[in-house]
Structure 1
């Protein structure tokens, strides 16, 4: 997949099926948009292009995580377009003429029914359809994906993430919430005093669930590892940064430097400070037991895992 971060001029393409939005999280509604351009790619040979408008706020997916997900889905090109003054103040008809038709030469534009763009958000699906007749591109408008009576949106997912409701988030996203990164060296305290752990430090731009302990699956180069993950500052040992520290069940491999994706399945308990290391170790043992019991109940999930070396 080609990745382009817009820092001035837009690239020149042709014969594209383009979908536009913020794509913060790639939830079930986003997946419908993306699947539509992938279907166009298969049927008409169009380039499948995702244009994601990005801002400085914390996001459910980092740019790198979004790239990983979209490439896996089969997207050809990801354009990340900053919501700077130029884009915010560009009139909707100018955006259509100069960028969609002029630079990208879109043959198909796919948007959600509530998509808005351009100065004062005056651009709409109806405007895209109107100009599609003039500039010879097809507009496909996708209805909002619903969860009961509520529209699925990044706002809805952020609300559930704040609660630590990982099961609901997985349902809204269409896959588990995850964070990805490279396993880093910690203080080594896990190996010396507690239980071996794999440590990732998420960027500050990444929106994380509440500090606490979660049931997770870590995907590494050689396979999938069930475990439990602590998100937070480890108050008992006094860290000063937010980390993602995972105990992989029955695994004592040297994993430093490996790329890792941690999928979150269930919230176990909040992070807490213990009066002693022994009290902390006892709680970790209980957390591990809770995690293993959860996996014993989730037999269908376990069947999908490709277990790595121990």
Structure 2
């Protein structure tokens, strides 16, 4: 997949695509429905996504707590896995936010990326102060000779599949249900940083990763799998939170990799949350904490082994 950061001056090979529009935070099953509709409408054209970085909500409300399900590299990887060939990841800044809906259609979609067909959800809004809706998009698309597919929302028995619903599931401690709506486990990707090394002193060394702009899921302990830089996956047990036993103030992700020893400082890991084991809690001593971590690790090992070997007898 090729990634372009501007709609201006694109090479001819990057134009003439069927373009799906939206933020695509999380790249969930609802987004997959938009991509399928886009491809079905024009299977002869390259499949493309036009999205924004940062997320417009981050630009307009920087004081909000982090809420992103997927940052730029994670989103790109997920879209590539769904067959997207071209990604227009446009910088969302003050100048871009002042483009009118008409300018967006003419300058970006028609003249810039040269879209032959568009696809979006029924709630797609665009342009200065979200002045454009799908009705306006339809009129503009017709005027510029672009096709348009407005894709109905994807739902399950519990309701609409959306990024906001997935966020709530993660914040309530249901990574398994979130994975069903994402089509894959929820993953936090980040660089391993130096911590206070307390885990090593009690026999459970951890890789410490800042949550950064990622949504903070429910605080507590998880069974996880960790993808290493070379692509190998290792099972682990992780804590997300402020570590009340040691009195830390900043929430972060700490991962203990099972049956694995290596120096991972400075390397980027992808940590997939599979099962929520327990809430974060404060222990009266490091010995009590050490005993509980041993229990957590054993539980995580058993649950992940069952996931990965479903036919194995109990």
Please give the range of the TM-score, normalised by the shorter of the 2 chains: 0.7 to 0.9
Match of 1:147 in 2: 156
Q: Are the structure 2 counterparts of residues 183 and 38 from structure 1 closer, same or farther at C-alpha, using a change threshold of 3 Å?
A: farther
Q: Secondary structure of 1:178's match? A: strand
d(CA) in 1 for partners of 2:20, 2:113: 12
Match of 2:31 in 1: 30
TM-score by length of 1: 0.86
Matched, 1:244 2:245: no
Match of 1:93 in 2: 102
- How far residue 72 of structure 1 moved from its aligned partner, in angstroms, is 3.8
d(CA) in 2 for partners of 1:294, 1:25: 25
Q: Are the structure 2 counterparts of residues 34 and 255 from structure 1 closer, same or farther at C-alpha, using a change threshold of 3 Å?
A: same
Q: Map 1:62-77 to 2 at 5 A.
A: 62-77=71-86
Q: Secondary structure of 1:95's match? A: helix
Match of 1:52 in 2: 52
d(CA) in 1 for partners of 2:215, 2:95: 27
Q: Secondary structure of 1:227's match? A: strand
d(CA) in 2 for partners of 1:302, 1:253: 31
Which residue among 279, 283, 288 is the counterpart of 1:270?
Answer: 279
Which residue among 225, 232, 246 is the counterpart of 2:241?
Answer: 232
Q: Map 1:149-228 to 2 at 5 A.
A: 150-203=159-212, 205-220=213-228, 221-228=230-237
- 2:119/2:148 contact within 8 Å kept: yes
Cα RMSD for the two superposed structures = 2.6
TM-score by length of 2: 0.85
- How far residue 73 of structure 1 moved from its aligned partner, in angstroms, is 3.5
- How far residue 168 of structure 1 moved from its aligned partner, in angstroms, is 1.4
d(CA) in 2 for partners of 1:27, 1:4: 22
Matched, 1:19 2:20: yes
d(CA) in 2 for partners of 1:274, 1:259: 30
d(CA) in 2 for partners of 1:85, 1:183: 33
- How far residue 266 of structure 1 moved from its aligned partner, in angstroms, is 1.2
- How far residue 192 of structure 1 moved from its aligned partner, in angstroms, is 2.9
Which residue among 289, 292, 308 is the counterpart of 1:280?
Answer: 289
d(CA) in 1 for partners of 2:279, 2:123: 37
Structure 1 unaligned blocks of 5 or more: 304-310
- 1:24/1:154 contact within 8 Å kept: yes
Q: Secondary structure of 1:298's match? A: helix
Matched, 1:295 2:308: no
Which residue among 131, 137, 145 is the counterpart of 1:128?
Answer: 137
- How far residue 153 of structure 1 moved from its aligned partner, in angstroms, is 1.4
- 1:117/1:124 contact within 8 Å kept: yes
**CA deviations over 1:8-31 (Å, ceiling 9, x no partner):** x74535212211112121111112
Q: Secondary structure of 1:207's match? A: coil
Aligned length: 299
- How far residue 194 of structure 1 moved from its aligned partner, in angstroms, is 2.5
- How far residue 189 of structure 1 moved from its aligned partner, in angstroms, is 2.6
d(CA) in 2 for partners of 1:127, 1:33: 19
- 1:227/1:291 contact within 8 Å kept: yes
- 1:28/1:172 contact within 8 Å kept: yes
Q: Secondary structure of 1:294's match? A: helix
- 1:11/1:104 contact within 8 Å kept: no
